[in-house]
Structure 1
Amino acid sequence: MNSGSSSYDVVVVGGGHNALVSAAYLARAGLSVLVLERLDHTGGAAVSVEPFAGQPARLSRYSYLVSLMPEQLMADLGLDIRLASRTTASYTPWTRSERSGGLLVERPEGEATRASFRELTGSDEEYAAWQDFYAEVGRLAEVVSPTLMQPLPLERDVRALADERIWNDVVTQPLGHAITSRFTDDTVRGVVATDALIGTFASMDDPSLIQNRCFLYHLIGNGTGEWRVPIGGMGAVTDALAKAAVDAGAEILTGAGVSAITPGADGAEVTWHDSTGQHAVTARRVLSGVAPWVLRILLGEGEDEDNKPSGSQLKINFLLDRLPALASGADPATAFAGTLHLAEDYTQLEQAYAAAAGGAVPDPMPGEVYCHSLSDPSILGDRAGSAHTLTYFGLHTPAALFDADPGARDVAIGRALASLNAVLAEPLEDCLATDADGHPCIETKIPQDIEKDLAMPGGHIFHGDLEWPWANNRARLDTPAQQWGVQTEHDSVLLCGSGARRGGAVSGLGGHNAAQAVLAELG
């Protein structure tokens, strides 16, 4: 689509899912909106691709599950998005002396979950502790979740509605204290801890509490924290959002790389280039869907290498001719339907962090795998029933490891496969499909790939460390932008991406909240 105007109410820089949410809300409110996306497609990290030649499988290349996107947001925009629940929440293979098995957590939890805890620990005490802890987390989620589409509450107001014990466990002190005091089994402790480490490089005892904030975001979505599968892949989410924006009257330009944002007295000018040359447009408000670190460059402030975000994840996408058998004897259709934890006992997670902090690729490599096609075979095209996808997400693989040693990539991939093969009854390599050229169907993304592909600085999937989803008690909340947590140093430029106060993950919250601030400012 070609821009037909030199002036808009709002120009949105970047075409990720949050940017599309903003565009849809604002266009539906009657404002003129232009979205500028550097790539030849929208969606950012929320996209589906066919990465393997000759294979019809559409994989969610980067982000792959949805938790935080509010039902209300989807209803507001009339999104045609279907999210499927997974019957298995998690499965964790374990070995103790001469015993082995797997810790199964069903969704919803039932007698098989209780029995699985009993088999691992020898009693019902650990499962009772699990139930108590997550019941308290659930009540905290019920307090926090409704505030995510409202102006920022003050910390004291949220705390007043929360149980004091879980507030201390999750918000006040390093999460490791709660995990080690509430649970005794190393495997159970690790299962709890993993939600604090997705895309976050930290020890459970990190005094910065970045692990606590990551944990909270992973467990508050829609008041339940359930991670659901987008039917049709993540690309279906982007497609629905783009349609909602265009149908409402927003213009979307792809192949439009923004090079400068120049704030003025009554708005800002945005400069971009495409295949035909350089262009400029003015807007009353500019919304930034790019990372705040990148935004500062576009504003002419230069690259601040000392404060550049650094991601920490290893993503491997596989296409398999069949699911492998597990050494525990568990049904692969059950074990792989949820999050299958690998080398993620609590002590293993802490040892892996120490190794990576010291510059070494962890061994064993902690990570988790999940089979999207068990919940949604439609992504396989005509291979449905004769193939499966598998997604591996590795922890404690900070960008610095790969910067320091180019060979670390192959080492990390090898150790990820080793961690998976350690719990299988057959090598994963024997199950791999091949592409049209006879190559194994494996696609790997380290933080440097994420930065190169998506311009996310340091490959940080949250655009930077997550912040608490409320305002400090002494925060200035004088303007709509401040009240919604989307402000920058320039009144005419607002954050609408994962770098907004309540951004992160595939939620649309950054986009919604920026749109609300603009509507409050422009009327």
Structure 2
Amino acid sequence: MTGSRGDAPSDAAVDVLVVGGGHNGLVAAILAAQAGLRVRLLEAADHLGGATLGAAVFPGIPVRLSRYSYLVSLFPAELADRLCITLPLASRRVSSYTPVRRDGRAGGLLVERDPGPATEASFAALTGGRAEFAAWQQFYGELAALAAVVAPALTGPLRRRSAVRDAVVATAGSRIWDEIAERPLGETITGRFADDTVRGVVATDGLIGTHTSLFDAGLLANRCFLYHLIGRGTGEWLVPVGGMGGVADALLARARGLGVDLVTDVTVAQVHEAADGVVAVDTTGREWPAAHLLAAVAPAVVAGWRGEVPDRPVGAQMKINMLLDRLPRLLSGADPAEAFAGTTHLEESFDQLEAAYRLSVAGALPTALPGEVYCHSLTDPGILAGRGGATLTLFGLHTPDALFRADPVAARAAAARSALDALQLHLAEPLEECLARDVDGRPCLDVASPLDLERDLLMPGGNIFHGDLSWPWLADDEEVDSPAQAFGVAVPGSRRILLAGAGSRRGGGVSGLGGAAAVDALLA
């Protein structure tokens, strides 16, 4: 059952206590229950679903949107089958469209989901030749071969780096391994492509949710890029039919059907560990004992439970949800139903991305924030609940949480203006005239900064990955002496607490991989 405080007797220990009711926590609870274990899940909010929750964001309008998540790539089909859930996902017919203003003219770069003659012609019109399209085909062909090798390494015990490398080299060649795993992504992109716009379209996959330079020697952008390109073995970003809330709904229904004790409105403040179990203590002092605890929260939160002072992760993205009466016309003359059907890149040339990063480090924002937009309703019209119109989701880059600390309201408004200005630069009409109005007559705009994620989802810093992404493999000299380490879910110094969220070794994104790995380690 779903209970509130007091509905579930906490004095009775369970086999598994899951803390965190987002998609990873629900995945962990389901798999543990399917294994015959007694499972209780605690969630701080008054609802379950976390970032995948679907809700009527705009007053008086029944359209259900997810405030904080948007597409699915990393959730393996095999995991959905294992969970015994149906997860309908739809392909977008367009991969991306990038409006461009050059030499006083408006144009754009179209990339089809399966690049063909229209994509080739679009490259030629933008760059004046065939070289960039040929380079694109070569690069993404090699990436597809790499993805086919690396995607299986996202589940099961972690593989050694050299084993993954050897498999990639044998299948895709040594060049692509070196470019992705050995040297900064910026060097690869500038070496492969000549056009600034084309370079930027490639680069964005290394920056979504990550605050870094493309030339960072620590290869953080490379790790982000890898996860964005290997999901389900293809890297395709899919639209969840019914909205992202459909993911949460399917998981919640399955957890309830298995009899998982789902308890909301409980915030864990401390965790005490002994040889025979753990006890979570909530903010009221109430104790929740269990044999094992699966932490579907950020590692920084786990450290806080244990009395440690963790480094705060940096969240660096903002999200704007919009409901429109109609899609706006573009200066380029492109059909809006095509331009917004995939990912629409805004002010995301390579040079613009690096300039925006440098500005953000200095505590400032560009006048037009790099970002990307997509229209869920073009692929899944049912999300509109019969009202017509369209949804737009804008994801702004390089907006670190530090920019919002001093004055969160003013900073959020300034960042929203910068992001919306980046969109308006490419429109042939005011966006304001296309926006729907809620029951109170206000424009249907919902803006969320990293601090909103931190507050609503208890994600430190508003970091959507719960911290820096890790390579999905073990170093060759890394010692492994427990199943938790083998599956990438270990909490240093603990045998009874396992990471089960996005901060696990392979847990970034809406994937369920963190929750699944925690249960696999527990059962091992």
Question: Which aligned pairs between 1:163-182 and structure 2 lie closer than 5 A?
Answer: 163-182=173-192
**Is residue 39 of structure 1 aligned with residue 45 of structure 2?**
yes
**Is residue 401 of structure 1 aligned with residue 406 of structure 2?**
no
What CA deviation, in whole Å up to 9, does each residue of 1:451-496 have, x standing for no partner? 0111100111100010000011111211110100000121000000
Pick from 8, 18, 31: which aligns with 1:3? 8
| Helix, strand or coil at the partner of 1:232 | coil
TM-score w.r.t. the length of structure 2 is 0.96
CA drift of 1:300 comes to: 2.5
Pick from 427, 440, 447: which aligns with 2:443? 440
CA drift of 1:159 comes to: 0.4
| Helix, strand or coil at the partner of 1:409 | helix
Matched residues in 1 for 2:54 and 2:431: separation?
23
The one-letter code sitting in structure 1 at the alignment partner of 2:201 is V
Matched residues in 1 for 2:223 and 2:426: separation?
31
Matched residues in 1 for 2:421 and 2:104: separation?
21
The one-letter code sitting in structure 2 at the alignment partner of 1:92 is T
The one-letter code sitting in structure 2 at the alignment partner of 1:258 is V
- Residue aligning to 2:109: 103
- Kindly indicate whether the alpha-carbon contact (under 8 Å) linking 1:321 and 1:433 is maintained by their aligned counterparts in 2: yes
CA drift of 1:281 comes to: 2.5
Pick from 388, 391, 398: which aligns with 1:389? 391
- Residue aligning to 1:327: 331
CA drift of 1:428 comes to: 0.6
- Residue aligning to 2:470: 467
Structure 1: give runs of 5+ residues left out of the alignment: none
The one-letter code sitting in structure 2 at the alignment partner of 1:461 is I
Please say which of residues 479-488 and 241-250 is displaced more in the overlay: 241-250
Question: Which aligned pairs between 1:12-411 and structure 2 lie closer than 5 A?
Answer: 12-162=18-168, 163-272=173-282, 278-301=285-308, 303-304=309-310, 307-383=311-387, 386-406=388-408, 407-411=410-414
The one-letter code sitting in structure 2 at the alignment partner of 1:426 is E
Matched residues in 2 for 1:411 and 1:363: separation?
10
CA drift of 1:11 comes to: 0.3
Matched residues in 2 for 1:138 and 1:4: separation?
51
C-alpha RMSD of the superposition: 1.2
- Kindly indicate whether the alpha-carbon contact (under 8 Å) linking 2:367 and 2:421 is maintained by their aligned counterparts in 1: no
- Kindly indicate whether the alpha-carbon contact (under 8 Å) linking 2:269 and 2:281 is maintained by their aligned counterparts in 1: yes
Identity %: 55
Matched residues in 2 for 1:234 and 1:455: separation?
19
Matched residues in 2 for 1:333 and 1:371: separation?
9
Matched residues in 2 for 1:468 and 1:264: separation?
32
CA drift of 1:65 comes to: 0.3
Q: How many residues align?
A: 512
- Kindly indicate whether the alpha-carbon contact (under 8 Å) linking 1:56 and 1:382 is maintained by their aligned counterparts in 2: no
Please say which of residues 173-182 and 373-382 is displaced more in the overlay: 373-382
| Helix, strand or coil at the partner of 1:112 | helix
- Kindly indicate whether the alpha-carbon contact (under 8 Å) linking 1:148 and 1:509 is maintained by their aligned counterparts in 2: yes
The one-letter code sitting in structure 2 at the alignment partner of 1:330 is A
- Residue aligning to 1:481: 484
- Kindly indicate whether the alpha-carbon contact (under 8 Å) linking 1:174 and 1:206 is maintained by their aligned counterparts in 2: yes
What CA deviation, in whole Å up to 9, does each residue of 1:392-424 have, x standing for no partner? 000011111112454332221111111101101
| Helix, strand or coil at the partner of 1:334 | helix
Matched residues in 1 for 2:445 and 2:247: separation?
24
| Helix, strand or coil at the partner of 2:416 | helix
The one-letter code sitting in structure 2 at the alignment partner of 1:313 is Q
User: Aligned pair in 2 of structure 1 residues 405, 53: CA closer, same or farther (>3 Å)?
Assistant: closer
Matched residues in 2 for 1:255 and 1:282: separation?
17
**Is residue 497 of structure 1 aligned with residue 501 of structure 2?**
yes
Matched residues in 2 for 1:381 and 1:99: separation?
38
Matched residues in 2 for 1:332 and 1:25: separation?
42
| Helix, strand or coil at the partner of 1:92 | strand
What CA deviation, in whole Å up to 9, does each residue of 1:104-127 have, x standing for no partner? 111122211111111111111100
| Helix, strand or coil at the partner of 1:494 | strand
Matched residues in 1 for 2:294 and 2:23: separation?
13
Matched residues in 2 for 1:382 and 1:441: separation?
17
- Residue aligning to 1:451: 454
CA drift of 1:4 comes to: 4.6
CA drift of 1:51 comes to: 1.3
What CA deviation, in whole Å up to 9, does each residue of 1:188-210 have, x standing for no partner? 00000000010111111011111
| Helix, strand or coil at the partner of 1:518 | helix
Matched residues in 2 for 1:380 and 1:298: separation?
41
| Helix, strand or coil at the partner of 1:475 | coil
What CA deviation, in whole Å up to 9, does each residue of 1:259-308 have, x standing for no partner? 221111122111235xxx6532221110001111111111222x44xx11
Matched residues in 2 for 1:249 and 1:116: separation?
54
Matched residues in 2 for 1:403 and 1:260: separation?
26
Matched residues in 1 for 2:17 and 2:45: separation?
16
| Helix, strand or coil at the partner of 1:252 | strand
Structure 2: give runs of 5+ residues left out of the alignment: none
- Kindly indicate whether the alpha-carbon contact (under 8 Å) linking 1:320 and 1:390 is maintained by their aligned counterparts in 2: yes
What CA deviation, in whole Å up to 9, does each residue of 1:377-403 have, x standing for no partner? 1121131xx211110000011111112
